[in-house]
Every structure is written in structure tokens, then in C-alpha cells.
Amino acid sequence: MAAAATPTVGLTTARTFISSLHKTLMSRAAILSTESKDASSHISLSHSFLQKPNSVILKSKRVVATKAVSSENETSALPGLPIDLRGKRAFIAGIADDNGYGWAIAKSLAAAGAEILVGTWVPALNIFESSLRRGKFDESRVLPDGSLMEITKVYPMDAVFDGPEDVPEDIKTNKRYAGSSNWTVKELVESVKQDFGSIDILVHSLANGPEVAKPLLETSRFGYLAAISASSYSFISLLQNFLPIMNPGGATISLTYIAAERTIPGYGGGMSSAKAALESDTRVLAFEAGRKHKIRVNTISAGPLRSRAAKAIGFIDMMIEYSTTNAPLLKELSAEEVGNAAAFLASPLASAITGTVLYVDNGLNGMAVSTDSPILEKLHAAKEK
């Protein structure tokens, strides 16, 4: 039987091993110091090994693992449910500048990877295209990744007229329409079909009420029907004609306003009626387009925005102030927030959502009273401190 090693011999052997390993680690640390800014951490590891031999390997593995995870996070996409619209083509009807909801929706769809086509009201077409060419909108075109939103093509459009036979003579000879062609709904869709074959997303971002400043009791039949035609039926007409070239699983989105459900004094000329019709049509069209073409139909009830179109109402600043004072979220609504909501509704993440009015208004739609009312001064209303 072999003789058992004495404690003295064992201790000497251990000390020799540790001393040798210490020299080796110190030598390696010296080499790493010329190649890495982390040399000090390796040297400290060698000292910790002398004190706690069993911990160094675990600590070293932790450092390496942390670096690997950090490196991976820096180069790969974050996990989750991203809105991915790559390979999709969207047509946004009603963009004439860069400060409205239509523009914001186009940007959000583009940021998600969609190709953007735009329909612009004929009288505003030249100014819009000129501004694009001269770079006037470049600052507004910047996407989250730093690139600029690209608009593949801008089409002349007037969604009040379904076909050439509906255009009255005074419009045909109007100088504001001179030089443009194929701008009725049927002609527009045929042009898109010839150019691109199909679309996946249709956005209705247009409205007009020639007598919007008049109370409903003072609105003429012409003004009322004009508001319905431009702001509500135009969506039906666009969807009717685009449906045959929309890919199954596609989505349509329109823009409505709380005046469809609540009384907004000053929002007249039949516009509240037009928005109510649009919301009702959304539910019916969701059924019909869903059953026949597998297309989803939703509308966004957006809060007030200081856009060029909204300024025509005459009291948009007051509505924004009211909203920022009384909504559950005490902040001004941004166009980008509405754009992002639209991108969600157009994406596969909303594949089971149709026939819905989505409120994007900081929660103002849920309020029954205004918190800034003098009547409520003595109540302990929840206010931002």
C-alpha cells in the first residue's frame, strides 16, 4: 500500500501550484493590458483566485456571458411583437401638406416598411408636389431610423366624383383642375391598378364641409349634403373601387371625431352628421368587406390637432386647450400618436379587429364632465400636481 502524503508535503505542493498559476495569470493579464481596456478586471480576477480558488472560474464565466449577451443585444432586433409592414403597399387619400393626420399615418406606415402611395386633392396637387421636390417637407419626412419617408407616387384625386360623367362643366373648366387628368375615384383606382396591380392598405384622411362654421339649424341642404359627400360617402366610393385590387387580409382606416357621438358646439354644417355616418358605415362595411373580400374596416376617433384643415373650423386652439385640460392624460395629442395607432390597425397584430372605432384622444371621450368647470371647484377632482 502506498504511503499516505503528509500534510506538510500536501501544503507545499499546493503552494507551488498556486504560485505557478499566479505567475501564469499575471503574465496573461500583462499581455491583455496591451490589447484590452479591461486588463484591470483580469488582474483582479487573479488575486481573487488566490483568496477564493473556487470562485474565479464562475466569476470569469459571468463576465464573458455578460459581454456576449450585451454584444448580441447591440446587433440583433429586440424580442417582441414588432409592426412589420414590409412588402405591403398603402394608399393614403387626402394628404396635401405635412402637418395633418394623413401625413403622420403615412410616416408610421413607412416606418413599419410599407410602400406609400398618396392621393392629393387636385387644386392642392401642384403646391404639394413642388414642396416635396424643393425639400420643404424633408424635416417632416425623417423616420425613426434617420432615413426619409419615400412617397412612391402622388396621384391627383377628387373623391367627390365617382367617374368622369359626374364632373360638372364648371369643374372641368376650372383653372385649378387644368393640367390634371384621371382624378375621379374610378380613374384613380384604374391608374393605381395599371401602375402597381394591387394595394394592401387604404387610408381615408379627407373631409370637407363648406358650411362647417354654420350651426346645423342654419345649414343649407347643399352644405349638408356636400359635407356628407366629401367626408363620408367618399370613403364608401374609394372602398367600392379599391376592393377588387386589395389583397385579402388587407385593412382600411378612416378618421372620425367625437362630434359623431357628442355635441360639439361650433362643429356645424353637417360635419357632425357626416362623422356619425362614417362611424355607422364602418360597422356595415366591416361586415360586407370582411365576408366578401377578407378586408378589415376600422376608424380612428382622433382628438383635436392644429392642422391646416382644422383651422378652417375657427376654434381649434380652444378645443386643444379644452382637451389638454380635461382629458385623463394631461398632454397635447401628437399626430404621431394617431399615425402609430393606424399602423397597428393596418398590421397583422390587429388581424381580429374590424368594425371598431378606436379612440386616440388621451381618453377625452370617456369624460362626462369637464374638470375645469367652476361648478367642480369645490370637488376633489384629480388634477396634475
Residues forming the active site: 232, 275
CA distance 242 to 247: 10
- As a whole number of angstroms, the distance between CA 232 and CA 134 comes to 33
- Name the β-bridge partners of 302: 360
The residues with which 300 forms a beta bridge, in sequence order, are 255, 358
Q: Which residue has the cell 373648366?
A: 173
Question: In the Cβ-directed half-sphere of 152, how many Cα atoms lie within 13 Å?
Answer: 15
Q: How far is the C-alpha of 114 from the C-alpha of 105, rounded, in Å?
A: 11
Give the number of other Cβ atoms within 10 Å of residue 377's Cβ: 8
Provide φ and ψ at 93, rounded to 5°. Answer: -95, 120
Cell 405591403 maps to which residue? 88
User: Rounded to a whole number, what is the distance in angstroms from the first to the last CA of the chain?
Assistant: 85
